[in-house]
Structure 1
Amino acid sequence: MKIAVFDTYVTTRSGALMHFDVLVPLGSSQLAENFAWQWLATIGLTRDAIELQSCQYCHSETPQPDTLQTIRRQGFAILPLEGCPVPD
């Protein structure tokens, strides 16, 4: 299974920058931004507390087994890169 990787940047109202990848199955790319919002809610950030700067397709790849398992379970996976808190 190949996945699409979406490079995503978010700025909080306090000015903090968060950078993460949204990983989705090929063919469900239109859902990447919704999955980004869904994940942000799990770490306590609501739409009124942040501004989504970009969620752009970057590339496709074959995922690691644990990532593939997460995608099969919830439809997507998140790869935190910079400034991202760990969900509770």
Structure 2
Amino acid sequence: MSTKIQKKVNVWDTYVTKKNGEIMHFDIIAPVEVNDTSIIYDYGKLYIKSKNQEGQTLTSNQCRLCHIEHLRPEWEEEIIKKGFFIIEMEGCN
């Protein structure tokens, strides 16, 4: 009998102060194998840039590993394509 191995992802809880002073809260979802924080921060900076917030600070004070969970099917395609998935929580639009 074979056991199906579930893929795991890290969830990085991220808060960034926007140019207007408001807080942008989002989660960066990345494979557990990606544990280099500089890569995670680069993912966050790409997302921030996509929201016209380029240049805003993103460090360990704003982005921390929160927990590990199972990869959800709705995240998988984007993680395969870009390496990460963003869950927008608050103030992202």
Which protein has the bigger helix share? Answer: 1
The number of aligned residues is 83
Which protein has the bigger strand share? Answer: 1
Shift of 1:68: 1.3
Note if 1:74 corresponds to 2:82.
yes
Q: Which residue of 2 aligns with 1:17?
A: 23
Contact 2:10–2:65 (Cα < 8 Å) also in 1: yes
Q: TM-score, normalised by structure 1?
A: 0.86
1:28 pairs, out of 27, 30, 34, with 34
- Give the CA RMSD over aligned residues: 1.2
1: CA distance between counterparts of 2:35 and 2:45?
14
1:37 pairs, out of 42, 45, 62, with 45
CA-to-aligned-CA distance 1:10-53 (integer Å, 9 cap, x gap): 00232110100000011212221110001111111111xx2335
1:8 pairs, out of 6, 14, 28, with 14
User: What stretches of structure 2 of length at least 5 have no aligned partner?
Assistant: 1-6
Structure 1 residue runs of 4 or more that deviate by more than 6 Å after TM superposition: none
Q: Which residue of 2 aligns with 1:46?
A: 54
Larger radius of gyration: 2
What is the identity percentage for the equivalent residue pairs of Structure 1 and Structure 2?
Answer: 31
Q: TM-score, normalised by structure 2?
A: 0.82
